[in-house]
């Protein structure tokens, strides 16, 4: 009996021990996986490495004021400005332009880098994290080729709007390409067009509008008008539009120095003004009303002979185009062109303002022929420079694939709700 009890006791002890072993909780060790945040790249920096502060230049702001507001002392500000001045003049900050501060990722949030954007594409970096260095750069640009067609029911702007296309296309066709061959104020119902153009994007997503029209076809009153973009002078970057026979479609002068123009006062040598007691006060210019800040363009290639502020003219620029023609642009808010500078047709030479004697924002456009002021709308203006014989063969070869592409774009019987055809053709940093 004794042995039995001993055996039972040992078995019970083993059972209890095994049960405790089984019921003992199992502690599982889990390894924590830390995911690195996805890189956010802009201006050549990983923004995850910084506290990012964005703002725009406000009235009273300066480089020094902005940095001091963000806890940088004036001795350091002066040192930064001195080091950066050969790359960028900090006094050129403009109200309304955006800037970004990259700050340390700690409780102090001290600025390490100042980035200023004078345009949507261009930016200036002043980096003072370790050493001080400054440089300018551009955001990556993508050009996407697209095609579009339309049939006129009322006007071209309405036709484009119905398809969700940029009104810039209408301007470029009406004022830059066909200004001297088709009167867009007298389009007929049933007139139709096809166009190959490129849209421009910054950082892949920011749409900045129509970059250029590569080729177009416009059928007006059953008459076809082809247009192909071609660079005639790579040194000066001069581009013109020619038809399928290499004839230049444009004149030497644009019809107006501003886009989306409205003539508020015409050339009139017998003008009488109530303010001056209805005395005859000749108006030897053509006034184009536009908002303050609207870009003013040179109407033709030429060399700037005057850029000044004087009396009733206010800020003005004068351009000599050749031995026969000169133009002048008055009442600018600010001048861009400088004396001696060669400007191309369409280049911005200043901005609309109200300087000098003016009752409202506009540009007074004056036109000289052989030293005499005349009405540009009553002149038989010369055609733009014809294509040279040496370039004509190259041009005709150049347009072959474009014409084939145009001819194989078919007009839609009705407007469909779909995106225009598109192809990414290039990506660049300039």
pLDDT at 77: 93
**pLDDT reading at 137 higher than 80:** yes
Tell me, which fold does domain 42-138 have in CATH?
Nuclear Transport Factor 2; Chain: A, (3.10.450)
- Angle 151-154-155 from CA coordinates, rounded to 5°: 80
Average pLDDT rounded to a whole number, residues 93-122: 94
**pLDDT reading at 186 higher than 90:** no
CA distance between the termini of the chain = 103
Q: Return the higher-pLDDT residue of 428 and 392.
A: 392
- Assign 262 a pLDDT band (cuts: 50, 70, 90): confident
Q: What is the pTM of this model?
A: 0.66
pLDDT at 164: 84
Q: For the domain 262-378, what is the CATH code?
A: 2.70.70.10
Tens of pLDDT along 200-254? 999 888 888 899 999 999 999 999 999 999 998 887 778 889 999 999 988 889 8
Helix (H, G, I), strand (E, B) or coil at 6: helix
**Is the separation of the CB atoms in 124 and 88 below 8 Å?**
yes
Residue 62's nearest CA partner among 22, 114, 15, 26 is: 114
141-250+384-428 with 262-378: one CATH topology?
A: no
Q: What whole-number distance in Å separates Cα of residue 286 and Cα of residue 271?
A: 12
Percentage of the chain modeled with pLDDT above 70: 84
**Is the separation of the CB atoms in 77 and 63 below 8 Å?**
yes
pLDDT at 418: 47
**Is the separation of the CB atoms in 344 and 237 below 8 Å?**
yes
Helix (H, G, I), strand (E, B) or coil at 117: coil
Residue 93's nearest CA partner among 69, 114, 121, 72 is: 114
**pLDDT reading at 416 higher than 90:** no
Least confident of 17-26, 139-148, 213-222, 292-301: 17-26
pLDDT at 208: 86
pLDDT at 341: 94
Q: What whole-number distance in Å separates Cα of residue 215 and Cα of residue 18?
A: 89
pLDDT at 155: 85
DSSP-assigned states of every residue in 380-419: -PPBPPPPPHHHHHHHHHHHHHHHHHHHTPPPPSS--SSP
Q: What whole-number distance in Å separates Cα of residue 392 and Cα of residue 237?
A: 18
What is the edge-to-edge ordering of all strands in the sheet holding 192-202?
238-242, 223-233, 206-220, 192-202, 141-151, 422-428
What's the mean pLDDT when you consider all of the chain? 85
Domain residue ranges in the chain = 42-138, 141-250+384-428, 262-378
Tens of pLDDT along 37-88? 778 889 999 999 999 999 999 999 999 999 999 999 989 999 999 989 888 8
pLDDT at 154: 86
Q: Return the higher-pLDDT residue of 2 and 365.
A: 365
pLDDT at 417: 44
**pLDDT reading at 28 higher than 60:** no
CA dihedral 195, 198, 201, 206 (to 10 degrees): -10
Q: Return the higher-pLDDT residue of 4 and 212.
A: 212
**Is the separation of the CB atoms in 290 and 261 below 8 Å?**
yes
pLDDT at 32: 58
Percentage of the chain modeled with pLDDT above 90: 53
DSSP-assigned states of every residue in 160-202: HHHTT--HHHHHIIIIIISTTT--GGGPPTT-EEEEEEEEEEE
- Assign 314 a pLDDT band (cuts: 50, 70, 90): very high
Tell me, which fold does domain 141-250+384-428 have in CATH?
Nuclear Transport Factor 2; Chain: A, (3.10.450)
Q: Return the higher-pLDDT residue of 99 and 23.
A: 99
Average pLDDT rounded to a whole number, residues 349-368: 93
**pLDDT reading at 344 higher than 80:** yes
**pLDDT reading at 196 higher than 50:** yes
- Parallel, antiparallel, or unpaired: how do β-strands 206-220 and 223-233 relate? antiparallel
pLDDT at 414: 45
Residue 331's nearest CA partner among 300, 288, 267 is: 288
- Assign 273 a pLDDT band (cuts: 50, 70, 90): low
Residue 401's nearest CA partner among 145, 214, 123, 181 is: 214
Average pLDDT rounded to a whole number, residues 333-353: 94
- Assign 430 a pLDDT band (cuts: 50, 70, 90): very low
Q: Return the higher-pLDDT residue of 161 and 415.
A: 161
pLDDT at 106: 92
**pLDDT reading at 12 higher than 50:** yes
């Amino acid at each position: 009996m004794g042995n039995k009890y001993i055996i039972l006791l040992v078995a019970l002890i083993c059972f209890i021990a095994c049960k405790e072993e089984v019921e003992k909780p199992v502690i599982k060790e889990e390894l924590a996986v830390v995911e690195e945040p996805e890189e956010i790249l802009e201006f050549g920096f990983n923004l995850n490495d910084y506290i990012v502060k964005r703002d725009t230049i406000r009235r009273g702001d300066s480089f020094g004021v902005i940095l001091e507001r963000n806890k940088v002392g004036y001795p350091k500000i002066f040192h930064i400005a001195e080091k950066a001045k050969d790359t960028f003049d900090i006094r050129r900050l403009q109200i309304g332009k955006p800037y970004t501060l990259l700050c340390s990722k700690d409780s102090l949030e001290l600025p390490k880098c100042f980035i200023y954007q004078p345009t949507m594409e261009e930016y200036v970096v002043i980096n003072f994290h370790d050493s001080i260095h400054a440089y300018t750069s551009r955001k990556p640009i993508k050009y996407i080729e697209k095609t579009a067609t339309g049939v006129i029911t009322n006007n071209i702007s309405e036709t484009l709007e119905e398809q969700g296309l940029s009104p810039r296309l209408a301007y470029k066709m009406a004022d830059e390409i066909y200004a001297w061959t088709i009167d867009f104020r007298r389009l007929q119902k049933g007139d139709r067009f096809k166009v190959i153009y490129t849209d421009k994007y910054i950082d892949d997503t920011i749409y900045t509008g129509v970059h250029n029209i590569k080729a177009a076809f416009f059928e007006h009153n059953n008459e076809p008008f082809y247009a192909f973009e071609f660079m005639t002078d790579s040194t000066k970057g001069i581009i013109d539009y020619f038809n399928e026979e290499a004839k230049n479609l444009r004149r030497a002068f644009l019809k107006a120095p501003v886009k989306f123009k409205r003539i508020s006062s015409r050339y009139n040598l017998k003008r009488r003004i109530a303010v001056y007691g209805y005395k005859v006060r000749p108006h030897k210019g053509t006034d184009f009303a536009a908002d303050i800040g609207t870009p003013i363009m040179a109407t033709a290639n030429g060399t700037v002979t005057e850029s000044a502020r004087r009396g009733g003219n206010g800020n003005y620029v004068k351009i000599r185009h050749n031995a026969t023609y000169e133009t002048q642009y008055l009442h600018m808010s600010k001048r861009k062109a400088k004396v001696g500078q060669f400007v191309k047709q369409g280049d911005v030479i200043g901005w609309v303002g109200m300087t000098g004697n003016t009752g409202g924002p506009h540009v007074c456009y004056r036109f000289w022929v052989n030293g005499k002021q005349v009405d540009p709308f009553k002149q038989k203006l010369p055609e733009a420079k014809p294509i040279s014989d040496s370039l004509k063969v190259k041009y005709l070869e150049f347009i072959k694939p474009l014409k084939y592409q145009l001819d194989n774009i078919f007009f839609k019987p009705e407007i469909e709700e779909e995106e225009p055809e598109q192809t990414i053709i290039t990506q660049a940093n300039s």
